[in-house]
Structure 1
Amino acid sequence: MDWDKLRIFHAVADAGSLTHAGDTLHLSQSAVSRQVRALEEALGTTLFHRHARGLILTEQGELLFDATSSMVRKLDSASARIRDSEEHVFGELKVTTATGFGTLWLAPRLSKLYQKYPDLKIDLMLEERVLDLPMREADVAIRMKEPSQSDLIRRRLLNIRMRLYATQDYLDNAGTPVELSDLSKHRLICQKTDQPQVTAGLLLVQKLLSQNVMSTLTVNNYFGVLQGVLNHVGIGVLPDYLTADFPDLVRVYPDLDSDEVPVFLAYPEELRQTRRVAAFRDFILEEIQAYRRHQSETRLGDRD
């Protein structure tokens, strides 16, 4: 089967349009159409239903698109390995993680990675949806639970807990709650219980809201919760990894926290030897070690 025709077919199926595929391939619409028709004639079948709003794959077209998608992923992986050299790390790396962890912990540390590898291009995708790594929706994932997909290399990075924090200014003005029932006199900043979040955080929020809190500020990610806390709006439910970068946060209810939440690093087995992935993995592990040292030093300081 002619690979050029398959490549053009794949671009059309991916774009759903002859015109858009032609723009991507730098070919005219008529040239793209001729190649698709030639492929259909060679296979003796119709690959697309054609209508005014675009193209829809037939059942036979779906089968072929699955095959070409697999070929494209393998070619992309092979191309990445060929381009990567032992000394030079460059090219695009697609990284996905939750919005809170990505904005509050990962993004502020990336300058160190760029200092070592200035030609690296990172596409940081922050969302709660779990992207499909084997299907190459992303190259690397950092997630708040162990990935269940097969053919992944996974490593547990650390465990975090959700806790309550406020600024000293807020506590000076509103008072420091001692009993859990005292929370009814304060403003609680948290994620809504119907928002995607780790189960441990959800259970803690539900427990707190049962205290008849007088006022709340709900935000759909921890970055927003942190901004509310830093601006003295109230007491916020936040992950404990923030204490390394925001040491002035005051922990409220020191004996109250959520269950542990595991944080995992994962990437496809086929990218094990890719220099970009290896560089990112090593960078993350170094930063986690530095974070753990900071936590240990902080605990020792608290005992003194």
Structure 2
Amino acid sequence: MMDWDKLRIFHAVADAGSLTHAGDVLHLSQSAVSRQIRGLEEALNTNLFHRHARGLILTEQGELLFDATRAMSKRLDAASARIRDSEEEVFGELRVTCATGFGTLWLAPRLPALYAKFPDLKIDLMLEERVLDLPMREADVAIRMKEPSQADLIRKRLMSVRMRLYATPEYLRANGTPQVIEDMVNFRLICQSPSAAQVSAGAALIAQLMAHPSRSTFTVNNYFGVLQAVLNHLGIGLLPDYVTEDFPHLVRVLPDLDSADVPVFLAYPEELRQSRRVAAFRDFVVEEIFNYRRNRRDGQTTGS
């Protein structure tokens, strides 16, 4: 059976690529680190490192062992984080991952209310289209624009979003208003780049619009950029319908044109079921969604 202590030292050496640097991290002398590595190599009857003047390079066998210790290290970090999560009050770091558009346009403006309730929270908001691995603790909580496929996740459907066309009154006064989709050829279309990672419903509507090519377009790789261009009167932009709550002056263009529903899910690992930070964030988002939906309903009732 392999010695845990030797594995820990091997991992540090492989990570640092040097006995000296690993010794500094572990607060051990270089000779003590070297002795432990030799002992591990003897126990496994193989060389784990090629020794070079510039440092150490892993052998093929060393790479195999380093893959195993890296996975162990990640799992130990995740386990200790989960133990802390289950015991702590609502403070400390909470890593939230979210698509750039939803994170900047919907979530971030609402966070002051969460911080007012829990002033000691440290939220690390990771805005990217890449789906982070929640079970491996790349993030604690995710808000995603489709149902998460990973197993061992608790998921809650929050709301549905639709992609629609919007412009400022100033742009429409200066350029007129399209009446049918074919008219879009005469207007500047602002949308996500067809090649950018995005929800399929948005991509489908972009394809429909691009079938009637505009003379001028502006494409950008997230909805925050689309919104900034629309607000500065650059053209007619394809945006999620929730922007109308914070930018009510925007005018909906071609009101019969709609994307399919885009579901919004909140998800977190099963192991974080007891986490007070996660529970606080989840309850806050659910309450904000409830208020948002009620405001939209009231707005539609008032407007009708």
Q: What is the deviation of 1:209? A: 1.3
Residue 170 in structure 1 maps to residue 171 in structure 2: yes
1:43-88 deviation digits (Å, cap 9, x = unpaired): 5555455554764442233234323332232122113323x1xxx3
On the 8 A contact 1:46/1:58 being kept in 2, the answer is: no
The equivalent of 1:68 in structure 2 is 73
Cross-structure match for 1:297: 298
User: Mean alpha-carbon deviation: is it higher for 33-42 or for 211-220?
Assistant: 33-42
Offset, 1:146? 0.5
Q: Find runs of 4+ consecutive structure 1 residues off by over 3 angstroms.
A: 1-57
* C-alpha separation in 2, matches of 1:176 and 1:194: 28
**2-side partners of 1:298 and 1:23: how far apart?**
62
Q: For 1:144 and 1:155, locate their aligned partners in 2 and report how far apart those are by CA, in whole Å.
A: 12
Worse-superposed segment, 276-285 or 8-17: 8-17
Q: How do 1:51-130 residues align onto structure 2 when only pairs under 5 Å count?
A: 52=54, 55-56=57-58, 57-82=62-87, 84=88, 88-130=89-131
Deviation at 1:97, TM superposition (A): 0.7
For residues 228-274 of structure 1, the C-alpha deviation after alignment (integer angstroms, 9 at most, x for no partner) is 00000000000011111111111001111100000000000000101
Which digits, 9 at most, give the CA deviation of each residue in 1:167-199, with x for residues without a partner?
000001100111111111100000111111111
Q: Please give the alpha-carbon distance, in whole angstroms, between the structure 1 residues aligned to 2:169 and 2:126.
A: 34
User: Match for 2:124: what amino acid?
Assistant: D
Q: Counterpart of 1:265?
A: 266
How far apart, CA to CA, are the structure 1 residues paired with 2:229 and 2:269? 37
1:42 to 1:98, Cα distance in 2 relative to 1, 3 A: same
- Which residue is equivalent to 1:235? 236
Q: Are the equivalent residues in 2 in contact too, given 1:158–1:288 (CA < 8 A)?
A: yes
Report which stretch shifted further, 257-266 or 24-33: 24-33
CA–CA separation in structure 1 for the residues paired with 2:28 and 2:119: 34
Residue of structure 1 in register with 2:217 after alignment: 216
- Verify the 8 A CA contact 1:190 1:217 in the aligned structure 2: yes
SS where residue 58 of structure 1 aligns? helix
- Work out whether residues 11 and 66 of structure 2, in 8 Å CA contact, stay in contact via their aligned partners in 1: no
- Partner amino acid, structure 2, of 1:59: L
Q: Given the superposition, is the C-alpha separation of residues 26 and 110 from structure 1 closer, same or farther in structure 2, using an over 3 Å criterion? A: farther
Larger Rg: 2
Q: Sequence identity of aligned pairs in percent?
A: 65
Inter-partner Cα distance in structure 1 for 2:145 and 2:179: 30
Residues in 2 aligned to 1:100 and 1:50: alpha-carbon distance in whole angstroms: 49
Q: How many equivalent pairs are there?
A: 299
1:179 aligns with 2:180: yes
User: Per the alignment, do residues 166 and 50 of structure 1 end up closer, same or farther by CA in structure 2, a change over 3 Å counting?
Assistant: farther
The answer for the alignment partner of 1:140 in structure 2 is 141
For residues 269 and 194 of structure 1, the distance between their equivalents in structure 2, rounded to whole angstroms, comes to: 34
Q: Which moved more, 1:168-177 or 1:48-57?
A: 48-57
AA in 2 matched with 1:81 = S
TM-score, normalization by structure 1: 0.89
Amino acid at match of 1:263: V
Unaligned runs of 5+ in 2: none
Whether contact under 8 Å (2:159, 2:265) holds in the other structure is yes
2:213 aligns to what SS in structure 1? coil
Distance 1:291 1:23 in 2: 53
The whole-number CA distance in structure 2 between the counterparts of 1:3 and 1:91 is 30
Q: Deviations over 1:89-116 (max 9, x none)?
A: 1111111011111111111111111111
SS of residue in 1 equivalent to 2:164: strand
Q: Distance in 1 between matches of 2:24 and 2:255?
A: 59
